[in-house]
Amino acid sequence: MQKNKNVHTFIGFDSEYEESDIIMFGAPFDGTTSFRPGARFAPTIMRNESYGLETYSPYHDEDLIDKKICDVGDLELPLGNTQKVLDVIEDFSRIIINDGKIPLMIGGEHLVTYPAVKAIYEKYKDIYVLHFDAHTDLRETLFDEKLSHATVMKRIWELVGDKKIYQYGIRSGERYEFEWAKEHTILTKFTYDRLDEAIQTIGDKPVYITIDIDVLDPSVMPGTGTPEPGGIFFKDIIDILLKIKKLNIVGADLVELSPHYDPSGVSTAVACKILRELAISIK
């Protein structure tokens, strides 16, 4: 017990900022969530519950104690003003990137991915995006709004262009979104079967990983805003992470955990382990 103010980080993410390769931060925003809000609570509760984890991963046979990761806490976001929230996230992502580090963001809802990718795109114009989700997120607007959890991949496409976004596990959306995707993204319904193709295409180009936690089946991930049955399972996530480990990951996020909707706590436990495995997957 030291004579200091309480420091509270995600387990094993306890390096100092300057020495770290990866900077984890929380983006506790859920202002455009249309069904069940509460993704704002994810980063804080994940820190608490991470103490149920070991730092060692038997999947990778690697240990977080051998990584340099700093958990800098949550951004303070002006709730009620979507554009300003996105600006704060973009600015902080830019700082991390300019410091030569990799941002690892915990949402919040999926819209937070947009400003993070925007900051990264400034540096990496040839960025690819790997998108794991139950939903297409390709609407042009939702309730006439362009900035929404349901439009986020469309906004990102406006930045990165055609055939740069790979979408896996998708099982919900409007018909027109699925139609549109045929021309503009590489979308695999229900599964991630064709992930190897993506990995081969991308090679050593920079890549951003965005995992909407609802890509998982609600049996193992009830705690999310819009649960969609028919998803992938935890073992699939491990399989995916072991595959993408060889990529040149320059940023990543995990979004849409809504912990209050899972009183059993299992959703948070699963999200914490995915975060551990994801962090170990980043070189």
Q: Taking CB under 8 A as the criterion, which residues in 32-51 touch its own copies?
A: 32-38, 40, 44-45, 47-48, 51
Distance (Å, rounded) from C-alpha 231 to C-alpha 267? Answer: 14
Decide: 17 and 70 in contact? Cβ < 8 Å.
yes
Q: Which of residues 48-67 bind its own copies (CB under 8 A)?
A: 48, 51-54, 56, 58, 61, 63
Decide: 199 and 247 in contact? Cβ < 8 Å: yes
- Closest distance to its own copies from the beta carbon of 125 (Å): 26
**d(C-alpha 268, C-alpha 49), whole Å:** 7
Establish if 107 lies at the interface with its own copies (CB under 8 A): no
The CA distance from 226 to 244, in Å, is: 26
Q: How many residues does the chain have?
A: 283
Residues whose CB is less than 8 angstroms from the CB of residue 172 and which lie 6 or more positions away in sequence, other chains included: 134, 135, 136, 226, 228
From 121-129, 139-147, 153-161, 199-207, span contacting its own copies (CB under 8 A) = 139-147
Q: List the alpha helices (DSSP H) in 101-202.
A: 113-123, 152-160, 175-184, 195-202
Decide whether 17 or 126 has the Cβ nearer to its own copies. 17
Comparison of 127 and 275: residue with beta carbon closer to its own copies: 275
| 151 exposure class (CB count in 10 Å sphere: 0-12, 13-18, 19+) | buried
Q: Is residue 173 close enough to count as binding its own copies by CB under 8 A?
A: yes
Q: How far apart are CA 257 and CA 88, in angstroms?
A: 21
| Closest residue by Cα to residue 248 from 211, 206, 196 | 206
Site string for its own copies, 250-279 (x = CB under 8 A): ----------xxxxxxx--xx--x------
Binding residue numbers for Mn(2+): 110, 133, 135, 137, 212, 214
Q: Which is nearer to its own copies, 99 or 126 (CB)?
A: 99
Whether the CB-CB separation of 151 and 137 falls below 8 Å is answered with yes
Structural element, H or E, at residue 178 = helix 175-184
Binding-site residues sit at: 110, 133, 135, 137, 212, 214
Site for its own copies in 226-255 (CB under 8 A): 226-230, 233-235, 238
Least separation in angstroms between CB 9 and its own copies: 5
State yes or no: residue 115 binds its own copies (CB under 8 A). Answer: no
Residue 4 as a binder of its own copies (CB under 8 A): the answer is yes
* 19, 100, 144, 183: residue in contact with its own copies (rule CB under 8 A): 144
Per-residue binding letters, 86-105, with its own copies (x by CB under 8 A): ------x--x----------
* Contacts to its own copies from residues 190-229, by CB under 8 A: 190, 217-220, 222-223, 226-229
Rounded-to-integer distance, Cα 165 and Cα 154, Å:
10
